[in-house]
Structures are given as C-alpha cells and as structure tokens.
Structure 1
C-alpha cells in the first residue's frame, strides 16, 4: 500500500499485489475460512487504490490528457462497478456459491480495468507529465491511501471536491471498525 516512486510505478505495484490476492483466494479450497481474510484484504487494497486514483490520478488525466474527461469517466464507472461487487462480497462467506461467482466477476472486471490503465491511460499520462509531476502525483496517491476508506461505500462521491472532503472521515470510521473487528490483520 505505499511503495514509492512515481504514480505509474505506485499504481502498477498495487495492481500486481491485487493480482496476487486473487491468485491466493482462488488457490484455496472453496470452504477455506482464509478466503474471507484474503477477500477482506483484497477489498481494503482495491478501495484504497480506487479512492486515491479518484482523488488525484483522474483529475490530472482530465486536465492534461487529450480526451481525459471521457477516459476518467470510464475509469470511475469501472470503479463503481467493482465497488458494488465488493459490497456484495462483504455479505458472503467462503463456500457460498455467490462468493466464488463474485470473486470471478471481480477478477474479470479488475483485470480489464488494469489492462486499460497500464496499456492506454498510463502511457498517455507519461507523455504529458514531467517526471517530477509524476513523482509528486505518486506522493499524493500514497498519502491518500493512508487515510482512504477500507470498505466499499458505493454511494459515496467519487469526484473532487466532495470525495477529498468525505473520504478521510469514512476512512477513519472504517479503520476503527477494522481495529475492533480484527479485519485486515494477518492471522
């Protein structure tokens, strides 16, 4: 969740970590209780990553990349779809048919989103931003992930300024809930 480097390196590392979490979930037997812990970790990582992108990456794309509004709108719509699935996954337990179905749907959606970002959006961003600007954006993204929510909030705003104002409060509440429940701790 905070790796260093420019924004493209930071987010690409996040993508690989999410890929690994999917692989770990899918490698376990259907009724293994560790799948719940891994699904919670996956949710936490995806939500923090999405919030940070919505706060800093997509506004930059809108401002500097040709056709950036359409690109950002598509990426935000992808996030909304993933967040709805994550909310459903919270209600499922390993062994439930719906659990496996949602994990499969999430993986498909996230994989397509990642391929689009890494293959299209990141190269466009790299073409229009200086290395210094990409480094600064990486710092902002890392900072946002530290205070971002850890649970899906599908009805929360996903564009500035409302998302920048409300996400830290929701993040604080989520982290308190996580601390009290033990969610997100490696067992």
Structure 2
C-alpha cells in the first residue's frame, strides 16, 4: 500500500484471512502453552473478524450485488456453523485428545468459507462500490472489531442487528474474562 492510500475493506479482510490461515498452520505444529495461546489468538481473531463482516460487509453486499441476499445467506449459514464449532472447540480445550482432529476439520471449513467470500462476495462488492466507499468500509470494520466480542457466541445470531445489540455487552464481558485469564496465567507461571 502506498503512502496516502487508505486500505480498502476487501484488502483488509483478505489480509485477515491470510492471518487466520497462518494461525491454523502454527496451531497444527504447536504444543502446550504455545498451542493454547495460539488457539486463544485464533478465537479472538475469528470472533472479531466475523462480527465485523456481519455488521459492515454483508449488509452492503445484500444491497449492492446481484443475488446479494442469496450469497450472504449462504455465508451467514457457514459463519453460524463456524461459531458453534469454535465454541465447542473452546469448551473442549487444546489438551483434549479429539481437539486436533476437530480443529483440522474446522480449519478446512473456515478456509473454504474464506474462499467463498473471496470468490463470490468480494469481487462483486469491488465492482459495485467506489474506492472511497471501500475505504470507508475498512474504517467501519476496524471500529466494529474494536467493539466486537472476543469469543464465538453462537446463540447471539449472525445478523448485523444482533451483533450491534448483543456485541458490545458481550465484548465487555469477554474482554474482562480475557484480562482475568491473562492475569491468572501470568501469576501461575511465577509459582
């Protein structure tokens, strides 16, 4: 990106997809504390990424692209399934004997979902939006991510309205839980 040119929303999301794929690869090789920390990073990144897409990107796609409702409905269904599996993996824990096999299946589904977005939704949005609109959407995604929950909440819904109503209180609760967890981990490592 050149100086003075704002990153657009689609480049931002593709960059995040790459980060998610890299985290899956690192998780597959990690052990112990590093594995737990990488999984927590993945959970946080997926939770804020999907919330922001549901609040900013999908509503725009519904309005701006041909068959937008059908495309978005399929993507939201995939995201809902991913939220449920991510929550189940979180509850299972990285030490569980089934964790690695379930994580591998989950990774395949998430990568396939990202491909659907990148091949169906993103090109149509780029064609039907101005560069200025895409840059503004990137700012909106960053703002939504700053207020998004840091965990998957599969029962909160996947619509923009559900995320706007339920997201901020869950985000506060999640961030408090994250702070307590981090404090406990930092103090238990000293013992």
Could you say whether these structures have the same fold, taking a TM-score greater than 0.5 normalized by the shorter chain as the test?
A: yes
Distance 2:93 2:73 in 1: 32
Matched, 1:11 2:2: no
The answer on whether the counterparts of 1:61 and 1:72 sit within 8 Å (CA) in structure 2 is: yes
Structure 2 Cα separation of the partners of residues 158 and 111 of structure 1: 19
The verdict on how the C-alpha distance between 1:59 and 1:111 changes in structure 2, with shifts beyond 3 A counting, is same
Q: Kindly tell me the number of residue pairs found equivalent between the two proteins.
A: 181
> Is the partner of 2:154 in helix, strand or coil?
coil
- Per-residue CA distance 1:12-70 (angstroms, 9 max, x = gap): 111111111101111125xx332111111101100100000000100000001010001
CA RMSD of aligned residues (A): 1.8
C-alpha distance in structure 2 between counterparts of 1:122 and 1:69, whole Å = 14
- Answer yes or no: is the 8 Å Cα contact 2:86–2:152 preserved in 1: yes
TM-fit CA distance, 1:154:
0.3
Displacement of 1:165:
1.9
Q: Kindly indicate whether the alpha-carbon contact (under 8 Å) linking 2:80 and 2:157 is maintained by their aligned counterparts in 1.
A: no
TM-score, structure 1 as length reference: 0.91
Q: Which runs of structure 1 show a deviation greater than 3 angstroms over 4 or more consecutive aligned residues?
A: none
What's 1:27 paired with? Answer: 29
1:167 paired residue number: 167
Cα contact 1:33–1:94 (8 A) shared by 2: no
On the 8 A contact 1:43/1:86 being kept in 2, the answer is: yes
Deviation of residue 116 (structure 1)?
1.1
Structure showing greater Rg? 2
With 86-95 and 59-68 compared, the bigger mean Cα shift is at 86-95
Once the two structures are TM-superposed, the CA of residue 11 in structure 1 deviates from its matched residue by: 0.5
Structure-2 separation of matches of 1:166 and 1:93:
25
